[in-house]
Structure 1
């Protein structure tokens, strides 16, 4: 019997570490299993991906996490992604994340401490940057925080604001984007506890709170989000590992359930997924348990569109593992895996 398809997944990987670039996979609608359909190595180190619709159909975007820094657009109409045109420089070094806002593509450039804004044409193709935001500052860690290192950029749920999470300065910047000029304007900056090294942020489905996962300490920072004023306010912290776990551990990604009751955080080094249950205030959480990530060095987590399954991109073991989620407890149960060398992220079409 042929498996019922629930769509497609795209997996980024580090070509410099033996990855195949961008792998396309069919998703089984009943089991969530991934079956590879093809791959493209046309982009060097496509460590993070984003997907959008354009006049000619869906377009896949990838960063090229290199010293020069670039983004690329790919057609996904076939079994394998196909590069459209040439990669476009972002005028920043080491882009680690990208996000879409109407008419523009944004990149967080870890190496140069900048955020780039690239206009998108009607065909979905990016042009060179129309604006650049330079982060400033440093943190107490002499090895990782000598200067700014934005690791993630994303719009808030209203689309009015753009937030960039900076590991090097222990802060989150809030910008307004002039859509016509393609220029970011700094609106405010939220300081987090020094030395925590914030890496990624996720918004609660209600839009009233955000959760910042810290890389240099295995903690999660709870924040209130005022979308009218564009203000992010820290409200507390919690550990994403039980007491006594030996380090070092470097958390990487946090996701929240569709119903807003659970959070999951990936812990590199401990090679686990932390399960946290949010309380009614959305500002406190209980660490329910941790479960093995199914491999080594989980760099990314992603929910499938149904919210019933969780996928972990395990970079060092070279696989993507998927889990069925208990809807009551939020605890993931391993269901299968696909070999993907140097896997770095997973997104769904």
Structure 2
């Protein structure tokens, strides 16, 4: 069986930055079948289940002569990429993009800008900005939390929720049905100085949220009870007495039994089993490269993007037992930072 794997990367203007590989699940081999230089620094991608479009950020500090980055819509067909649309995000260093196929909305997280740019997807995939929300505040880490830094948007109980590393909070918004704008409803406070980066909602127990914190390399387990959120566990993604490291991605196996997180610096993947409402660390394995920023969990494989060693590593994965093993397969890829299928 072959599966298409799309990679986003850090790529200078005019150089290839989005790649499509096929994964042969029998041989565990990746084969490059397409690439494009249409977008500068396409560091994060998402794919529509409806029209097949690929949406990606252009993580820059300047876009078409103005301060900020960009967001692009690409069509991928017959191993060819074409640019459908590209628009300004009005905030610097956009680093994540969230798609709502049901409402035809797109949400971009501007890291340096500390803001969320919201777009409605018009006919033929054109983007129309319909809202822009700026965060305020700072955190105790003067080097990394001098201002808001929106790193990720996801859905919690139907709300658009933004993980802000700079202010140690997940800010939650309703989408007003009348004017299609974001309405702030509440904050989920995270421990000060932890630097919340990404989160996932458990697909096994929808009341559980797992948030990964970059600055302290921790996973925070949050339990939802109606409109209330309570932290019920915080656990390290690193072994004791480890070197300087920064947690990056967090993902869940399809059956909900296992949670994985990546460590940049320690260069590893931490594997946890969900035991009731708490996480139990099973093992921490070498990522087979440097600075693993993102990874993809498939039914029986895990694909790891190692940014600083310019490679993608292929692991086998058993979602029933948690067995996670390196296949020996490594594919060269320049500065890979996002993996989707």
Q: Could you tell me the TM-score, scaled by structure 1's length?
A: 0.90
- In the alignment, what sits opposite 1:113? 114
Match of 1:207 in 2: 206
1:311 aligns with 2:303: yes
Work out the number of aligned pairs and report it.
331
Q: 1:244 aligns with which of 231, 241, 244?
A: 241
Tell me the C-alpha RMSD between the 2 structures. Answer: 1.7
Deviation at 1:32, TM superposition (A): 4.3
| Aligned counterparts, 1:33-182, within 5 A | 33-54=29-50, 57-67=51-61, 68-85=68-85, 87-101=86-100, 102-127=103-128, 129-156=129-156, 158=157, 160-182=158-180
**Cα distance, 1:192–1:295 mapped onto 2, change above 3 Å:** same
Select which of 266, 271, 284 maps to 2:267.
Answer: 271
Q: Are the counterparts in 2 of residues 224 and 235 from structure 1 also a CA contact under 8 Å?
A: yes
Paired position in structure 2 for 1:216 = 215
Q: Whole-Å Cα distance in 1 between the matches of residues 161 and 211 of structure 2?
A: 11
The change in CA–CA distance for 1:132 and 1:294 in structure 2 (over 3 A counts) is same
> Relative to 1, partners in 2 of residues 1:75 and 1:240: Cα closer, same or farther, differing over 3 Å?
same
- Against the structure 1 CA distance between its residues 93 and 180, is the aligned structure 2 distance closer, same or farther, given a 3 Å change threshold? farther
Shift in Å at residue 179 of structure 1? 4.3
Distance (whole Å) between structure 2 residues aligned to residue 17 and residue 71 of structure 1: 14
Match of 2:316 among 311, 318, 324: 324
CA drift of 1:17 comes to: 9.9
The answer to whether the 8 A contact 1:37-1:80 is kept is no
Helix, strand or coil at the partner of 1:123: helix
Q: TM-score, normalised by structure 2?
A: 0.92
Long gaps (5+) in structure 1: none
Show CA shifts across 1:266-311 (max 9, x none).
Answer: 000000001112211x2x222111111111100101112xx22111
**Given the superposition, is the C-alpha separation of residues 19 and 345 from structure 1 closer, same or farther in structure 2, using an over 3 Å criterion?**
farther
Unaligned runs of 5+ in 2: 62-67
CA distance in 1, matches of 2:245, 2:54: 32
Counting only pairs closer than 5 Å after superposition, residues 264-303 of structure 1 correspond to structure 2 as: 264-280=260-276, 282=277, 284-303=278-297
Q: Is the 8 A contact 2:259 2:273 kept in 1?
A: yes
Counterpart in 1 of 2:336?
343
> Does the aligned pair in 2 maintain the 1:302–1:310 contact within 8 Å?
yes
SS of 2:12's partner is: helix
Q: CA 1:19 to 1:210, structure 2 compared with 1: closer, same or farther past 3 Å?
A: farther
Superposed CA offset, 1:158-191 (max 9, x none): 5x21110010001111110124422111110011
Distance 2:105 2:300 in 1: 31
1:134-178 residue CA offsets vs partner (Å, 9 max, x unmatched) = 11111000100011001001123x5x2111001000111111012
Preserved contact between residue 13 and residue 40 of structure 2 (Cα < 8 Å):
no
